[in-house]
Amino acid sequence: MKKKAYNKATLIRELAFSAGITQKKARFVLEALTHIAYREAADDGFTIPGICRLDVIQRKSRRMKNPQTGETILIAEHHALRVRVLKAARNAVTPPPDNLVTVLPQEAPAPAELEDFSNAISFRCKKCGQEIEAPHAAIGVEAQCPACGASITVPAESEAGTLHRPAVPPPPAQADTPALPPAAVPAAVPGTPPAAPEPAPASGFAEQKARGGQTIRIDLAALGFAAPEEAAGPQTLPPKRMLSFFCKNCRQEIEAPADMAGTSSECPSCGVSFEVPFFSDPGTLHGSDLDNKAPGDPDVKDARARTIRIEVPDDF
């Protein structure tokens, strides 16, 4: 069964019953309290005991750009009513949960696949014969030999006899004479040292190690490619516009991407739901009175230190 809404009439009945007075007197007291709160809040502020404090603040004029229309607007200087919930009320109604904020481990950057030399191409310069190694992603790219400066093109496969395609030794020649029986094998002459065994072909690792000192490696930067982190890094993308504002419940300063404007989220400090505004609050990190200050200004540093950033949720 849905709970019945607690309205003004319900409040008057409960006050009258709790104080042992008539509902008419309870209504008079409630209306008098409202009148006093409005009057004192406009003067020097007024605190409703155990609930909240009302005061009036002056907001400076500021220029803003409407993210929906792109128009630049001017918000005139004006007075605004500020409501701050008292700590006793906040803790009584919404006690702070344990482990509200968890620091997530920083994800390791993805490996640069374009610089992977596990399947590199090795070849020789046609002019000077210098052995060169290039990543597989550079196949077909024209470059210059790092030794003589001649024009080279990275081939589709490694050249025989280079680092990544060692030369295959020819098979030993077989004699046409028939094999002798074991008894016919000539015995070793006494006093003669035994013949050395035929050397086996060099292993791939040893041959690559020996050739590694002769090979010059050229990376994608030398071939005119941009590294993955440079191609998609913040220096090539426009900076994301951010908004900063205060939580209406606990006054925690919050920073959020402008993409979240108009969406609902939760304060990382007190957990109360709020709607991300379309413009930054004055006096915050991205507020109008900080816009003209340098990034190293003490006011900006203090604002960054007290601001908590929220990100766009995964299901946004």
List pLDDT tens digits, range 162-215. 888 876 666 666 655 555 555 555 555 555 555 544 444 444 444 444 444 567
> How many angstroms separate the Cα of 42 from the Cα of each of 47, 55, 80, 215?
12, 6, 10, 81
**Residue 28 belongs to some domain of the structure:** no
**Residue 9 belongs to some domain of the structure:** no
Give the separation between CA 64 and CA 278, rounded to whole angstroms: 10
Are 232 and 121 members of one domain? Answer: yes
Domain end, chosen from 237, 256, 281, is at 237
Are 61 and 92 members of one domain? Answer: yes
Domain residues for the domain of 304 are 45-99+238-309
Domain end, chosen from 237, 253, 285, is at 237
When pLDDT is cut at 50, 70 and 90, the band that residue 76 belongs to is confident
Are 248 and 259 members of one domain? Answer: yes
Q: What's the total number of domains in the chain?
A: 2
**What's the pTM?**
0.36
Q: How many CB atoms lie within 10 A of CB 164?
A: 19
Are 147 and 58 members of one domain? Answer: no
* 248 strand-pairing partners: none
CA angle 52/58/61 to nearest 5° reads 140
CA angle 35/38/42 to nearest 5° reads 145
Are 142 and 218 members of one domain? Answer: yes
User: Quick one: average pLDDT of 284-309?
Assistant: 60
Q: What is the pLDDT of residue 269?
A: 77
List pLDDT tens digits, range 222-280. 555 554 444 444 444 455 678 888 888 888 888 888 878 878 787 877 778 888 888 88
**Residue 25 belongs to some domain of the structure:** no
List pLDDT tens digits, range 85-125. 888 888 888 888 887 777 788 877 665 555 566 778 889 99
Domain end, chosen from 214, 237, 260, is at 237
Are 226 and 269 members of one domain? Answer: no
For the domain that residue 87 is a member of, what is the CATH number? Answer: 4.10.520
Q: Whose CA is closest to 263, among 248, 277, 252? A: 277
Give the separation between CA 276 and CA 265, rounded to whole angstroms: 7
**Residue 249 belongs to some domain of the structure:** yes
